[in-house]
C-alpha cells in the first residue's frame, strides 16, 4: 500500500492556470524514432474508481490496444502496455501532457494534446460570449519592442469609435505560454474582456507572450520579472497613442498576470491603476500548498494522501526558498529524496526506482520560471503600491484561494484603504465562470467564458477616476 501511495505522491508542481486536469477523453502525440514519425492516440475513461485506457497507432492500422496500470492523480499520468515492454510517464503542463515513452531500455519524448472533438468531429463547443464581426470598434494590429532584450511582441489594440482620448488597459495573462486571447479549453477570455471594455469606451491592448504566436523571444527561459518587463513596454507603447488618455492607463492581470500587476504597481509612475484578477497575495509557497490541498480534496483524495502530498511539496518549496541559486537547489535534491523515501521501508529495487523518478521530477521543476516564482513574495511589492487597485477573487477558485489571499490583501492595504476595492464573487471559479465546484475539469464544459458582472465592476472602477 505504501508503494502505491508513494507512486501517487511523486511530486509535480502546480501552476496557476490549470492544475488538476481532466484526463477522460482522447489524446494524440507523435513519436519520432530514427527520423520516422509515428502518430499515436490514447483514450482514457474512469470506470468506477479505476482508470482504463487504450492506444491506437493509425499508421500501423492498430486500434484499441489495451493499457495496463493506468495511474492518474490529477497531475501525473503513467501507464504500461500489456505487450511490448512499453511504459509512459507524463506531467501536465498547462493543457498538455509532457512525458517520456519507454520501450525496454530506450526512451523517447512524447507529448500529448487533448483532442476535444476526436470522437465527434461535428460537435462544436458553445462559446456565446465570443464576439463575431463586424465589430463596433477598430481592431488595430500592433507591434512593440522590449528594448531590454531587443524583441518585438505583436498583438492587437481595440479602439472605440471616435477620437478620444480614452482610458486604456494592457491585458496580462497567467502562467504558461498564452496567446493574445489567453485561450484555454476553447475559451478566449481576453477576447471577451477586450470586446466588452472597448464597447464601453476603453482602449485595450492584448498581445502574444514572448515566444508565442507572432511574438519574438524565448518563453521557456523567462521569469515573471521578464514578463513584467514585456508588460511595461506594452504600457509605454499604449501611452504614446494619440487616442489614449495618458493619465488613465492601467493594467489588468489574471492569475500570474495579477502577480505581474503587483510588480508593475511597485514601480512608480508606470501604471495609473491596477486590476488584479485571482492574483497571488501571500508568499508563493503558502499559495501553492493551499492550492494543492484544495484541489486534492475537491477531487476526493483521501486525507492521508492529501497531507502527504502537501508535506512533500513543502519540503521541496523549502529547499528552493533556502537555496542560494538553482545550482545550489539542484545539489540538495538527492538528500531531500532520501529524506522523503526513508520512512517507507521500500525494497531496494523499488526504492531505487522511486528515487530516480522523484529526483528527476524535482530536477525538471527547477527551471528559471518556477525557481524564481517560488522565491517570490507578492507582499513585498503590494506594500509599495500607491495607485487605485481593484482586486477580484472567485469564491470557488481552487487555485488562488479567495479567503487566504483576499484577507491578506485587506491587511496589506490597512494603511491605504482608500486605494483598494476588493470583490469576492462567491459562485465563480479561477477563470471567473459561474461554476458548480470550481474544479478545472468544469472549465471546458461551462459555456460562460467570463462573468459579465465582473466586467461591469471593472468598467465602473475604471470610470470612477
Q: At what angle do helices 452-462 and 189-199 cross, to 10 degrees?
A: 50
Name every residue whose Cβ is closer than 8 Å to that of residue 400 and which is 6 or more positions away in sequence: 16, 255, 278, 279, 280, 287, 291, 393, 430
Integer angstrom CA distances of residue 29 from 115, 140, 220, 374, 452: 10, 36, 21, 31, 37
Instruction: Return the number of other C-beta atoms located less than 10 Å from residue 4's C-beta.
Output: 9
**Fold annotation for 16-115:** Lipocalin (2.40.128)
Task: Specify the pTM.
Answer: 0.79
Residue keyed to cell 458553445: 126
Q: Considering the domain 137-283+376-462, what is its CATH architecture?
A: 3-Layer(aba) Sandwich (3.40)
- Conformation bin of residue 209: beta by default, left when phi > 0, alpha when psi is -120 to 50: beta
Per-residue pLDDT of the chain (465 residues; tens, 9 = 90+): 343 344 334 443 444 433 335 788 899 998 887 667 788 999 998 887 788 888 888 766 677 788 888 888 766 788 988 666 788 988 876 678 888 898 877 788 899 988 765 444 445 789 999 999 999 999 999 999 999 999 999 999 999 999 999 999 999 999 888 899 998 888 999 999 999 999 999 999 999 999 888 999 998 889 999 999 999 999 999 999 999 999 999 999 999 999 999 999 999 999 999 999 999 999 999 999 999 899 888 877 788 888 888 999 999 999 999 999 999 999 999 999 999 888 776 677 777 877 887 888 788 788 899 999 999 999 999 999 999 999 999 999 999 999 999 999 999 999 999 999 999 999 999 999 999 999 887 888 899 999 999 999 999 999 998
Cα–Cα dist 435/443, whole Å: 8
CATH 2.40.128.120 region(s) of the chain? Answer: 16-115
CATH 3.40.50.1820 region(s) of the chain? Answer: 137-283+376-462
Residue keyed to cell 509557497: 285
Local structure of 188: helix, strand or coil: coil
> What's the distance, Cα to Cα, between the start and end of the chain in Å?
61
Cα–Cα dist 125/281, whole Å: 34
Q: Determine contact, residues 427/435, Cβ cutoff 8 Å.
A: yes
Compute φ and ψ for 33, nearest 5 degrees. Answer: -130, 115
Amino acid at each position: 500500500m505504501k508503494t502505491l501511495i508513494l507512486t501517487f505522491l511523486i511530486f509535480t508542481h502546480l501552476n496557476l492556470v490549470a492544475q488538476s486536469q481532466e484526463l477522460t477523453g482522447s489524446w494524440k502525440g507523435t513519436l519520432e524514432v530514427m527520423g520516422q514519425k509515428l502518430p499515436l492516440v490514447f483514450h482514457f475513461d474512469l470506470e468506477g474508481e479505476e482508470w482504463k485506457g487504450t492506444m491506437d497507432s493509425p499508421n500501423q492500422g492498430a486500434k484499441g490496444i489495451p493499457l495496463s496500470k493506468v495511474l492518474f492523480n490529477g497531475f501525473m499520468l503513467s501507464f504500461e502496455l500489456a505487450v511490448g515492454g512499453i511504459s509512459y510517464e507524463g506531467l501536465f503542463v498547462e493543457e498538455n501532457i509532457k512525458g517520456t515513452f519507454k520501450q525496454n531500455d530506450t526512451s523517447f519524448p512524447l507529448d500529448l494534446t487533448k483532442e476535444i472533438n476526436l470522437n465527434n468531429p461535428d460537435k462544436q463547443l458553445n462559446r456565446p460570449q465570443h464576439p463575431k464581426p463586424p465589430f463596433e470598434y477598430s481592431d488595430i494590429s500592433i507591434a512593440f519592442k522590449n528594448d531590454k532584450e531587443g524583441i518585438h511582441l505583436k498583438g492587437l489594440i481595440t479602439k472605440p469609435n471616435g477620437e478620444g482620448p480614452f482610458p486604456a488597459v494592457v491585458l496580462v495573462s497567467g502562467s504558461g505560454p498564452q496567446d493574445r486571447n489567453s485561450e484555454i479549453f476553447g475559451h478566449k477570455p481576453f477576447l471577451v474582456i477586450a470586446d466588452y471594455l472597448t464597447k464601453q469606451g476603453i482602449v485595450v491592448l492584448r498581445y502574444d507572450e514572448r515566444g508565442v504566436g507572432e511574438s519574438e523571444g524565448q518563453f521557456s527561459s523567462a521569469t515573471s520579472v521578464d514578463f513584467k518587463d514585456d508588460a511595461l513596454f506594452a504600457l509605454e507603447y499604449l501611452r504614446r497613442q494619440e487616442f489614449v488618455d495618458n493619465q488613465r492607463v492601467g493594467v489588468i492581470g489574471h492569475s500570474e498576470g495579477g502577480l505581474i500587476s503587483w510588480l508593475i504597481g511597485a514601480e512608480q509612475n508606470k501604471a495609473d491603476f491596477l486590476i488584479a484578477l485571482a492574483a497571488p497575495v501571500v508568499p508563493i509557497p503558502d499559495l501553492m500548498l493551499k492550492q494543492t490541498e484544495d484541489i486534492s480534496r475537491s477531487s476526493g483524495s483521501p486525507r492521508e494522501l492529501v497531507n502527504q502530498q502537501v508535506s512533500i511539496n513543502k519540503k521541496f518549496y523549502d529547499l528552493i526558498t533556502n537555496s542560494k541559486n538553482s545550482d545550489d537547489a539542484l545539489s540538495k535534491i538527492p538528500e531531500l529524496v532520501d529524506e522523503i523515501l526513508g520512512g517507507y521501508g521500500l525494497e531496494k529495487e523499488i526504492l531505487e526506482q522511486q528515487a530516480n523518478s522523484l529526483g528527476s521530477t524535482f530536477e525538471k521543476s527547477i527551471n528559471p520560471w518556477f525557481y524564481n516564482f517560488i522565491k517570490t513574495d507578492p507582499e513585498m511589492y503590494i506594500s509599495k503600491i500607491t495607485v487605485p487597485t481593484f482586486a477580484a477573487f472567485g469564491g470557488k477558485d481552487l487555485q488562488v484561494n479567495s479567503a487566504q489571499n483576499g484577507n491578506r490583501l485587506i491587511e496589506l492595504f490597512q494603511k491605504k484603504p482608500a486605494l483598494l476595492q476588493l470583490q469576492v464573487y462567491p459562485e465563480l471559479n479561477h477563470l471567473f465562470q459561474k461554476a458548480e465546484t470550481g474544479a478545472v475539469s468544469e472549465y471546458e464544459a461551462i459555456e460562460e467564458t467570463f462573468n459579465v458582472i465582473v466586467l461591469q465592476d471593472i468598467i465602473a472602477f475604471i470610470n470612477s477616476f
